[in-house]
Structure 1
Amino acid sequence: MNLPQRLPASRLLGVIIVVLLAMTAVAISSTVLALDSLSGTRARAVDQIDPAGRRAQTLSRSMLDQETGVRGFILTGQDDFLKPYRDGQAAEAESEQGVRDLLGDVNGRVTRIEELAAQWRSGYAEPAVTAIQQSGPSGGVAGDIERGKVLFDQIRSETAALQSDIAAISRQARTDLENAANLVLWLVIGMGVLLVAVIGGLSVLLHRLLIEPLANLAAHTRQVASGDFEHEIDANGPRETVQLGEDVDAMRRRIVQELATLDAAKTELQRSNSELEQFAYVASHDLQEPLRKVASFCQLLQRRYGGQLDERADQYIDFAVDGAKRMQVLINDLLAFSRVGRMTREQTVIDLNTLVRQVVDSYSDRVEETGARLEIADLPPVRGEASLLSAVFQNLISNALKFTGPTPPVIAVDVERDGDMWKFTVRDNGIGIEAEYADRIFVIFQRLHPKDAYPGTGIGLAMCRKIVEYHGGTIWLKTDVDSGTTFEFTLPVVHEPAELEEVHA
């Protein structure tokens, strides 16, 4: 599939999210409608049908109270029996209105009951009450009792039918309520199943569209990272993954080109190192031989003809001897500088206390001459080449003995732990170095004083930096001091217990 035909991952995710949202909206809407129907059915059953059934029962009792009150008044003539008759009429009217308000006329039953009740009262109850009030219990109403019974049986039949109709409505409402509850239950179950199906399908889809292509790209990338730079990266999937694969493949091709360039540079470096080794051989043998002859014959001239020529000739001979000696020192220092890191030996764990003590002993004459005092802390063992690390302490201590002030030199060698590194400090009370020269002093042949004032070739500190960096550390001039000179450098901590025990043994 070509890149323009591929959909970007953002669009794929957008389509998936839209479909998921649409399905969720339909499911939620259906559930909301079902819950609304369930709530409406429940409200009708609880708030309308059940209260209407109670009102129908009250209506039936109110009619019975009226009939009982009229019958008792006819038999006894006592006015107390008319109270249930009057109260029953009020309860009848209230119950009839209550049923109408809740369920309506209920198949015309309420209106029919009203009509029959009015007919019973006008055709039997009221005339009977009037006759008894006028003539007493024997007021001649016995003939109307049978007619009143017939009329009241019709009322009784209608109230029973009303209650039966309301009971039927209640049963239907319970059925509707159960159906609505079942519908909500199935919708909830369906939503759960749909959610599980959507999550599962989305997981599979995302794995196919995103995770699998990214995993494939990662596998190709790891193969290239393991060193197989000729392996081409073929990415598939969304547009972003394909573009990422093409970018990684472009980086791989660039690495291949860089490696080709590095191979050429390595070849050139090997050739340069070979030439440097040839130079070192020439400097140590071919160049030293004529230089030794010049120095020897100049010294012979100085011994044989010293004082026989004029003063200027003696001065010229002194200059030649001094120049030849300084040239020999310079060539030796250059050779030592060029060999650092090139002519390597096996690094071992070194006892710095012994090494520094040997360095100090080599300067015993100068120490005695200047009256110097050395304060050397207990130094830890480090890994490295003893001859190179000895050169570091030789240069720093000899500089401290060379660049002295008006008072006898005080040289302190200290150390402290800084994580995985030891930080060494070599401090003196000499003439000091200005902060502006903190970087310059570590450059080869850089001198801050004339050679007549202080002897030297200007290579010592450059060699110190090269040796310290070769051993994995760093050296610098501490500039925030009030007087004297303070050099600090770091070397890695030795972690091998067996080798440390061997040093201390």
Structure 2
Amino acid sequence: MLALVVAAAFGVLVFAVTTLDDATKRERHTKAVTAETLRLERLVLDLDTGLRGFVLTGKDDLLAPWTSARAALPKSLRDFQQLASTTAGERRRAMTLVASIDQYVNDYAVPVVEIARESPAATRQTFVSQEGAQQLAAVRDRFADFLSTESAVAAARTSTAQHRSDEAIAAAVAGLIASALLIIGFGLYLARSIARPARDVAEGAARLAGGDLTTRLRPQGVGEIEELTHAFNRMAERL
């Protein structure tokens, strides 16, 4: 019984440690996804910065942020999608964000740069800049939605894991307390059923040896210990 209680308490403690470790891994994952999301957003903003600078001035050197960001974007998108894929919901949100980025880059930004090279004045029309502002705002809204949802989901997971861990630790502590009580109870049982009767037999033998032939023992203990007291009394009666 004692072994089962101790084993159960140990098992619960292992569960608590595993739960906390899982929560820690999830937290690290969330931080990694958040960092990659922010890097991706920075690239999109660099694309827009280079695009607007080039459209307004026609100077190729102002297109440098665009060129650099566009070169880095494919890898960043792959890294982001690879990280944001632990659950179906996270994967779906990531795909939605990636689709909005692709739409902004391929349906607006790339065509505008190409047109600006051929006909700069055409891309300086108000409606072009308004369209770009609207599309960029939509992409940034997607970023904000993704980050806020990721943060909320991570917080909920951490809270649940912490709650389960607290429950497991409480159960383990209760198991250890129960184990201690069982050990104490078993010790008292041994003292009462073995140690005390054995001491009484020793004291009785000493009294007999001292000449008190009326010495008798009250039968107590269990098994061989009780039989020992009976044997002592039979021996005393024969003296």
Length-normalised TM-score, structure 2: 0.85
2:42 matches 1:61? yes
Higher relative strand content: 1
How far apart are 1:84 and its partner, in Å? Answer: 1.9
Question: What is aligned with 1:39?
Answer: 21
Higher relative helix content: 2
Length-normalised TM-score, structure 1: 0.43
How far apart are 1:116 and its partner, in Å? Answer: 1.9
Deviates more, 1:20-29 or 1:108-117: 108-117
How far apart are 1:156 and its partner, in Å? Answer: 0.9
**Pairs within 5 Å for 1:451-490:** none
Select the residue among 7, 22, 26 that pairs with 2:4: 22
Contact 1:49 1:102 in 2 (8 A): no
How far apart are 1:22 and its partner, in Å? Answer: 1.0
Contact 2:9 2:173 in 1 (8 A): no
**Pairs within 5 Å for 1:332-481:** none
2:171 matches 1:221? no
How far apart in 2 are the matches of 1:144 and 1:27? Answer: 68
Contact 2:16 2:164 in 1 (8 A): yes
For the aligned residue pairs, the C-alpha RMSD in angstroms reads: 2.4
User: Which portions of structure 1, spanning 4 or more consecutive aligned residues, are displaced by more than 4 angstroms?
Assistant: none
Select the residue among 231, 251, 256 that pairs with 2:215: 231
Contact 1:123 1:148 in 2 (8 A): no
Contact 1:220 1:233 in 2 (8 A): yes
How far apart are 1:253 and its partner, in Å? Answer: 5.0
Question: What is aligned with 1:173?
Answer: 157
Contact 1:65 1:84 in 2 (8 A): yes
Question: What is aligned with 2:183?
Answer: 199
Select the residue among 109, 113, 134 that pairs with 1:150: 134
Deviations 1:138-195 (A, max 9, x none): 3444232222222221111101101111111221233134324423542453244223
SS at match of 1:108: helix
SS at match of 2:204: helix
Contact 1:214 1:241 in 2 (8 A): yes
Contact 1:34 1:180 in 2 (8 A): yes
SS at match of 2:220: coil
Kindly provide the amino acid, as one letter, of the partner of residue 77 in structure 1. Answer: G
Task: Point out where structure 2 has 5 or more consecutive residues left out of the alignment.
Answer: none
Larger RCO, structures 1/2 (Cα 8 Å, 6+ apart): 2
Kindly provide the amino acid, as one letter, of the partner of residue 39 in structure 1. Answer: D
Deviations 1:453-479 (A, max 9, x none): xxxxxxxxxxxxxxxxxxxxxxxxxxx
Question: What is aligned with 2:84?
Answer: 103
Kindly provide the amino acid, as one letter, of the partner of residue 138 in structure 1. Answer: A
Bigger CA radius of gyration: 1
Q: What is the percent sequence identity of the aligned residues?
A: 23
Question: What is aligned with 1:440?
Answer: none
2:113 matches 1:129? yes
Deviations 1:325-355 (A, max 9, x none): xxxxxxxxxxxxxxxxxxxxxxxxxxxxxxx
Distance 1:169 1:94, change over 3 A: farther
2:59 matches 1:78? yes
Task: Point out where structure 1 has 5 or more consecutive residues left out of the alignment.
Answer: 1-18, 257-505
Distance 1:77 1:28, change over 3 A: same
SS at match of 2:5: helix
Distance 1:72 1:118, change over 3 A: same
The count of aligned residue pairs is 235
Contact 1:62 1:88 in 2 (8 A): yes
